[in-house]
Structure 1
Amino acid sequence: EEWQDIILDRAKSMLERDKNHAAILIWSCGNESCGGKDLYVMSEYFRQADPTRLVHYENIFWDRRYNGTSDMESQMYPTVADIKKFLAEHRDKPFICCEYTHAMGNSIGGMHKYTDLTDEEPLYQGGFIWDFVDQAIWHKDRYGKDALAYGGDFGDRPNDGNFSGDGILFADRKLTTKMQDVKFNYQNFDLDVTAEQVTIHNKSLFTDTASYELHLELMLDGKTIWETTADAPHILPGESGTVSLEDLPLTNAGEETVTASLCLKEDTLWAKRGFEIAFGQGTWHVDEVEVPEPQEAVCATDFVKSARRFHYTPNMELETKPEKPLHIVHGDIDLGVRGTGFEIMFSGASGNLTSYKCNGVELIEEAPKPSFWRAPVDNDYGSRRDFMTAQWKLASLYRRCVKKELLDDAGNWQEFDWFGQLGQKEYEASSISVRFTYELATQPLSSCRMTYTVVPDGSIKVELDYDAVEGLPEIPDFAMIFTMPADYGQVRFYGYGPLDNYADRQRGAKLGIFETQAKDEVEPYLLPQETGNHCGVRWIEVTDHRGRGVRLAMDEEPFEASALPYSAHELENARHAYDLPEVHHTFLRASLGQCGVGGDNTWGAPVLPEYTVKNTAKHFAFYFKGI
């Protein structure tokens, strides 16, 4: 009770100072101060002095003696499952997350679970992302260059390290790639797109969709072939409406995608006309549809129908060549394959693909390698996923080839002792398949198989197989890494972008063809970590300034990919950006899928189970080709 007067004095001073600010919606009794009678008296003062505003206090969660202190149930970092469980038993107050989806480093995975809940549960009123901006201080590194510093960089002990690097903006106020999903999850309009229509759900409280323009874009295999803009239809707040796509000019030629966007009609103080407020996409593959002659569209409803939604058949036809166009040279150590415009070499000594020349230019700097590891993100450290899955870091660093096989004409794998085959054998073939089996440095011991099938146009079908071994943890990533010279730094891909995205953070990404550079795919987190991943990749190209390089293309299913100037191990070893080495390589990665990044909190919350990579048998296939 001796504290009550000073607590009330503080409350009165705050109210008098801020009562005329239009931005103040709710009075707060404080933060992380447990509970008690004094705080309840403060809340009653707010209600008496200003009955027009609500009162908030989170810490009644820890002290229920004065539950009336807060007009709402407020909790920090509950899971969606916990919110549902609480509201199933308590229906007396609205529920908010005064802090949620902790945005430290590469984070905000699973945020859509919370925003989806606001549509399903009327008592759940949303939450506040912690935090808005990274907190770091400019200083000089040992060489006099400007660098952002965090806890411990000033000789301060104890400290919280980079724990204040939890913003959706960086400390210099530049946007993080996390904003791509934040913007989408917070948009007030859902746009569901099929080949027949766009259905718009207006979740706004006051705004009619007629305040915006509706922009429609049709893409074929990622390339825009038709678009139009018109006034959006009148759909009142809380209501839904449709826009017919009766005259959509389908092509019957590949994967087709329609993007529908609501955009500003006029310039505003905060954005120019055309700024996208909300979007939705629909993707399908059209088979055997009669396509009318294309006509110029005159309004937003000039579209056609006749499609199957979300069915995709890859268009990966290889060029037809004469029979047996490949010249095979099988020596006592190496096996060479020559075709028109390319030369490929497999080494029996190292048990791997060691050379791929396209028109005389070597494109492989190091032998490709399987990779089961990613540079841990802050949430991995917080939940100790780095420790729990460390076996897979060893597997990515250390392996030994224990079997080398060739596929014979009868379709059977034959083990081949390359060192025992003295002399040279030359022959022609229409294709050749080589398989290497590696033991991986895990306990218990595990293994994987890498299979390369060379086909006449110079493409190599690459397959990575793993048979699950009981006793090993979940897998951070299941990928192949191709190391190329840093000259190959131009990146172009057909997949989800333009910014990086992950299994649990990809709703804000769009399907399309995007161009970037490997160096720009590295997000400048205070602590370097996993970055630059893209989901839903159909193909990715990494080239030099002359257009020479490598293309990876899907076999049957889209994959995940990245192209970075640093390896996962280099990113993990660095504590600051200035700890990263000089750039010498481009690391091109194709992945069956990596673990989500998580984000419920950064002090123990795991990645949601549906976004982890289980320790089960796996098969990953894609095509590699020089361009």
Structure 2
Amino acid sequence: MYRLSSLILVTAIATASVTAAVNDWENPAVFAEGRLAPRATAFPYATTAQAIKGNPASSPYFMSLNGKWAFKFSPKPADRPADFYKPGYDHSSWDSIPVPSNWEMQGYGTPIYTNVAYPFPKDIPNIPHDDNPVGSYTRTFTLPSSWKGREVFLHFDGSTAGMYVWVNGQKAGYVQSTKNPAEFDITPYLIPGENRISCEVYRWTDGSYLEDQDFWRLSGIDRDVYLYSTAPQRILDFFADAGLDGTYRDGRLNLEVELSNLADTPVPAVIEASIYDKAGKKIKSISRSASLPAHETIPVNMDATIKNVNKWSGETPYLYTLLLTLSDSDGKLIEATSARIGFRKVEIIESKLTINGKPIEVHGVNLHEHNETTGHVVDRETMMKDIATMKRHNINAVRTSHYPQSPLWYDLCDEYGIYLVDEANIEAHGMGAALQGWYDPVNHPAHEPLWQPAIIDRQKLLVERDKNHPSVIIWSMGNECGNGENFIAAYNWIKSRDNSRPVQFEQAGETSNTDIVCPMYPSIDYMNDYARRDNPGRPYIMCEYAHAMGNSTGNFQEYFDIIRSSPHMQGGFIWDWVDQGLLTKDENGDSYWAYGGDFGAYNYTHDENFCINGLVQPDRTPHPGLMEVKKVYQDIRFSPADAANGEFNVENHFLYRDLGDYDFRWQLLKNGEPVASGDIPVSLPAGKSKKVKIKGFPALDTEDGNEYHLSVYTFTRNADDILPAGHEVAREQFVIKSNNVFDIKDNGGTPAQVKEENGNWVFDCTNDTRIIIDKRSGELRSYSIGGRQLIAGTPRPSFWRAPTDNDRGSGEHIRLNAWRCAADNKKVKEVTFSPNNPLPTVTSRYRLPDVNADYTVIYTVMPDGRLAVTASLDCSDDTPELMRFGMQIPAPRSMDTLTWYGRGPWENYSDRNTSSFMGVWKSDVDSLFYPYIFPQETGNHTDVRWATLTGPSGFGIKVSGTQPLNVSALDVTPADIDPGVKKHQMHNSDVRHSRHNVWLNVDLAQRGLGGDNSWGAKPHRQYRLPAGKYTYTFVIEPAK
């Protein structure tokens, strides 16, 4: 008989003990009926030339069934057209739907996003009957005449969540497991001429209890569907274990081939394996003769050594082509197939994960399959965009969270060099997860014996399909699904099937059924503890960390300070890569990205915007935080030696690349402006470091008021398949010298003339500057030069920011809520005027009753019209921490250009600014607002010395600090992008940008962003603003 999965036999036995009335889709023992055993992705070809080329569309034995299918949507199983698969059924009135697609993205049913909670009432293994949509699909096909007398197989790359399949009215089978392939032998059901295939797809099944991933819950046939044909004798499967010898020099191929014969008589045959290099040259060929017994499958093992093999790695993804041919005893070709293979060796040596004997640092991200318009259907263009963007930001690894992804993804990662942690399609988070508090093992799939066959089946589907991909360096058994006897059995099965890769399982913690300690969101204390251990036996690679929800990714450098303190600390996978927003339009026709609770899903359990936590937007536009990731992840690192004399250290952390293949450039900045630059020749082998001295480095000016920075950049010299020539791969900046840069110079002149007018103090200065301060409120009312206003209203104290997702997740928007209106509710204590202190000074003292604090502003009017502003805050013991401390200055909307000397060009914060270099930067105000999908704090810049906000003519306002400032300029206020204590369904399209004002935010400090997680973790202590005493000074003047 043709090989079926051994688990299907288990299923059949288990099913016999279950009442016949139980639906297949509510029975954990039924998950694969009629499905053939999983195998590696491969296609039959008629010639060796076709097989070497490896394009299945060119094979005469391949037929795609992608395209339009007739479709009927039913809200519940009782409403489905139960007999639609029978011959003669009239489908003429049905709609059509593209395959692959998710039916919710085609207008049927409701997209639902949940994180932990199941999107249906939890009653394992039962599924609601009154809300379980069913999609009925059907289409016809006609086989080519060349397929006559051959076997025909139907292949689905994936479907969600349970699917019955009929061909010409006869049942081919039933499958569950949404992100895995299913194949059926449909030869017995075919008829001459036109044939009909029919599929009945259920949105939820008992298998959905194993598919509680943190993503949109979408349904349908959402991966490729095709037919292929073989002779009765065929290459059924193969496992090409392409490793290296003990010296990591020669390639070792251990090849296991399964040959099948469906004929009634034995057949003598020859199986040959040939290896071709990139140039198409055959470099090795081995063959074996075999007698294929009737109706049986036999294994054939072969091995070969490739001298001085070109090794595969993420840096050097060299692929060979493995050609397999099956011929009869006369040498006539029966079938050819192929795979691209890479020779590499994955080991754990002295507690370190190594590739080809070299320890690697994992610069990883988690990746859900997501497209803004097609949902879970991801095309090649999107995949290539992901790989290119990852490579351009120094990302070298992906965890396929939390399921096997489309086969094409693995081909591309093989080709372009992305390391993969390949994860089984298992998450039972809604039933409870290990290491997240106690959960009840009773009825939990991790412990309940009834679920073990399904759990092991999903491991088999993972491993068997992807076993030949060099990019897959680690198997993962699942995510947040508990850890019990079933996962011990699953671990043992994987290790018995493939000993060339380690297995990781976060739920195992530090117990025996994981080869890697791979925690998610560990505490800093735990990281430090593991880092201090001496040869702990297993590497430490975080499966999830640095939760990148909204404006996040703070303290990312701090993670790597710990990681790089110990060789067995080897990085991790950021959560996650892409914001899972779905593109839609509001009632005004404005586009926005939807999240949980949209599309009418407010009637369902949902988790709002918790799916919006990527480093890139749904259209793959990078978030500002990605630049910080790029900087920290870079493999070329710099440290100061004697920067004042043009000396610094370079470290090459690549595995193979010599730095002589890159261009290095330096730039000297004086007060943020370039004054000298040049190229630096650097040749440095992988794994080495050295000191570099810039020839002809200029002498520095020691005059007061000057500061210098040395910036160093590394660029690609030559383009490759992904990176263009001239692409920046690394950067660093050193502070060289700072001489009293924050001193305020006294320009002299005649003191301002002061008069009282209409309840105000009016100051007239020598250069036609006029300043007006309200006597009663002590507030600045006007600042003009030549009659033109520099401000558009009263500057006000600023203590609040629009909460970030991390602020909301940790409850800071509630705990610190007293600051939200503290500035609005301030009470005047006293306002005093000193005409010569030694310059005219107005001191305004306020009480902030909301926060039990005192606030003081001192305005000092200088003779030349400059206005020094000193703000002070004195908090009580019970005052909550601050979001920020500063002032907000309204300006006319015509002032639409911000120029600043500080960190830039992208937004940065106290705990996310290592990638932002000091310099003089310029931006229009529109570009300073980053459109986070859920509106929140944005646009800040740290370490600012001065900033100007100007209009087209250059007229505007300048602020200069007597200490570093935080500055932003936006056409919104925090209130405009803060829905309040209670969170609402707010989107970027809801933000109303002002047509009249720009607000220049001039802060002493702002709270860090945080990023350890988005459900409780605060920014690290050094980046928070505890209650205390704060004071700072800045100077306002007309921009010149």
TM-score > 0.5, shorter chain as reference: yes
Q: Which residue of 1 aligns with 2:858?
A: 451
- The 3 A distance-change label for structure 1 pair 317 and 3 is closer
- 2:593 aligned residue: 148
Report if aligned partners of 2:751, 2:862 keep a CA contact under 8 Å in 1.
no
Pairing 1:477–2:884 present: yes
Q: Which moved more, 1:238-247 or 1:613-622?
A: 238-247
TM-superposition CA deviations, 1:313-346 (whole Å, max 9, x none): 2165546343x34222234611111121311111
In structure 1, the residue matched to 2:848 is 440
Task: Show the 5 A alignment for 1:482-561.
Answer: 482-555=889-962, 557-561=963-967
**Map of 2:685 onto structure 1:** 236
2:674 is the alignment partner of 1:224: yes
Which residue number in structure 1 is paired with residue 1033 of structure 2?
Answer: 621
Task: Tell me the amino acid that sits aligned with residue 722 of structure 2.
Answer: W
Moved more, 175-184 or 14-23: 14-23
Residue 706 of structure 2 is aligned to residue 280 of structure 1: no
Q: 1:600 aligns with which of 1009, 1012, 1015?
A: 1012
CA distance 1:474–1:317, change in 2 (3 Å): closer
> 1:6, 1:475 → 2: CA distance?
51
After the TM superposition, which residues 187-586 of structure 1 pair with which residues of structure 2 at under 5 Å, given as runs?
A: 187-193=634-640, 194-196=643-645, 197-232=647-682, 234-245=683-694, 247-252=696-701, 253=703, 254-285=706-737, 311-314=738-741, 316=743, 318=745, 320-322=747-749, 324-331=750-757, 333-339=759-765, 340-409=767-836, 411=837, 431-443=839-851, 445-555=852-962, 557-573=963-979, 575-583=986-994, 584-586=996-998
Q: Distance in 1 between matches of 2:923 and 2:721?
A: 30
Bigger-Rg structure (1/2) = 2
In structure 2, C-alpha distance between the alignment counterparts of 1:466 and 1:14, rounded to whole Å: 59
What displacement does 1:89 show? 6.1
Render the CA deviation track for 1:358-393: whole Å, top value 9, x for unaligned: 222112211111111111100011100111111111
Residues 527-568 of structure 1, C-alpha deviation per residue, up to 9 Å, x if partnerless?
10000111110111111111111111111x211111111111
Task: Please give the per-residue CA displacement for 1:17-57, whole angstroms capped at 9, x wherever unaligned.
Answer: 11122221111111111112221222222222222111111
Q: Secondary structure at 1:113's aligned position in 2?
A: helix
Which AA in structure 1 matches 2:566? E
How far residue 5 of structure 1 moved from its aligned partner, in angstroms, is 2.9
Aligned-pair RMSD on alpha carbons?
1.8
Corresponding pairs, count: 575
Q: What pairs up with 1:153-164 in 2 under 5 angstroms? A: 153-156=598-601, 157-164=604-611
User: For residue 417 of structure 1, what is the aligned residue in structure 2?
Assistant: none
Counterparts of 1:440 and 1:473 in 2: how far apart (Å)? Answer: 12
Q: 1:218·1:227 contact (CA, 8 Å) conserved in 2?
A: yes
Rounded to whole Å, the distance in 1 between the matches of 2:993 and 2:1003 is: 25
Distance 2:857 2:627 in 1: 36
**1:32 to 2:480 alignment:** yes
Q: Which moved more, 1:586-595 or 1:11-20?
A: 11-20
**1:431, 1:326 → 2: CA distance?**
8
Distance 1:321 1:620 in 2: 23
Deviation at residue 247 of structure 1 after TM alignment: 2.9
Q: Partner letter of residue 348 of structure 1?
A: K
Q: Is the 8 A contact 1:80 1:113 kept in 2?
A: no
Please, which runs of 5 or more residues in structure 2 have no aligned partner? 1-448
Report how far residue 87 of structure 1 moved.
4.9
In structure 1, the residue corresponding to 2:463 is in which secondary structure? Answer: helix
The one-letter code sitting in structure 2 at the alignment partner of 1:181 is E
Q: Distance in 1 between matches of 2:695 and 2:961?
A: 32
Could you list the per-position Cα deviations for residues 136-186 of structure 1 after superposition, in whole angstroms to 9, with x for gaps in the alignment?
Answer: 111110111211111112221321101000000011110110011000110
Call closer, same or farther: CA 1:312–1:475 in 2, change over 3 Å: farther
Q: TM-score under structure 2 normalisation?
A: 0.54
Change (3 A) 1:120 1:89: closer
Structure 2 CA distance for aligned equivalents of residues 325 and 616 of structure 1: 35
**Structure 1 CA distance for aligned equivalents of residues 806 and 656 of structure 2:** 38
SS of residue paired to 2:459: helix
**Secondary structure of the residue that 2:679 maps to in structure 1?**
strand
Whole-Å separation in 1 of the counterparts to 2:470 and 2:739: 51
- Tell me the secondary structure at the aligned position of residue 669 of structure 2: strand
Q: Determine the structure 2 residue equivalent to 1:99.
A: 544
Offset from partner CA, 1:244-300 (integer Å, 9 cap, x none): 135321341521111011111112222322211111111233xxxxxxxxxxxxxxx
The letter of the residue matching 2:928 is E
Moved more, 41-50 or 112-121: 41-50
2:561 maps to 116
Q: For 1:615 and 1:568, how far apart are their aligned partners in 2?
A: 21
User: What is the letter of the counterpart of residue 31 of structure 1?
Assistant: N
For 1:558, what is the secondary structure of its paired residue?
strand
Q: Percent identity?
A: 30
1:68 to partner: Cα distance = 2.0
Aligned partners of 1:55, 1:106: CA distance in 2, in Å? 33
User: 488, 509, 529: which is aligned to 1:85?
Assistant: 529
Alignment of 1:14-53 (within 5 A): 14-53=462-501
Secondary structure of residue in 2 paired with 1:73: coil
Pairing partner for 1:76 from 516, 520, 537: 520
Q: Which moved more, 1:455-464 or 1:201-210?
A: 201-210
Query: 2 CA distance for matches of 1:606 and 1:582?
Result: 30
8 Å Cα contact 1:195/1:245 also seen in 2: no
Please tell me whether the aligned partners of residues 314 and 554 of structure 1 are also in contact (alpha carbons under 8 angstroms). Answer: no
Matched residue SS, 2:553:
coil
Q: Deviations over 1:410-438 (max 9, x none)?
A: x4xxxxxxxxxxxxxxxxxx831111111
| The 10-residue stretch of structure 1 (385-394 or 266-275) with the greater mean CA deviation from structure 2 | 266-275
**Aligned-partner Cα distance in 1 for 2:951–2:1023:** 34
Q: Which residue of 1 aligns with 2:277?
A: none
Contact kept in structure 1, 2:504 and 2:518, CA below 8 Å: yes
| Segment of structure 1 superposing worse, 94-103 or 273-282 | 273-282
More displaced stretch, 202-211 vs 499-508:
202-211
Other structure's SS at 1:153 match: coil
Offset of residue 9 of structure 1: 2.6
SS of corresponding position for 1:148: strand
SS at match of 1:604: coil
Residue identity matched to 1:262:
T
Local SS of the residue matching 1:195: helix
2-structure distance, mates of 1:357, 1:476 = 31
Give the partner amino acid of 1:108. T
After TM superposition, give the deviation of residue 408 of structure 1 in Å: 4.6
Which of 570, 575, 584 does residue 125 from structure 1 map onto? Answer: 570
Cα distance, 1:209 vs structure 2 = 1.6
Q: CA deviation at 1:79?
A: 2.1
Superimposed CA distance per residue, residues 176-232 of structure 1 (whole angstroms, 9 cap, x where no aligned partner): 100110001101122124113021122222222212111011111111111112432
Deviation for aligned residue 1:101:
0.4
8 Å contact 1:192–1:281 — kept in the other structure?
no
Please give the alpha-carbon distance, in whole angstroms, between the structure 1 residues aligned to 2:960 and 2:690. 39
1:515 Cα deviation (Å)? 0.8
**In 1, distance between residues paired with 2:1013 and 2:810?**
9
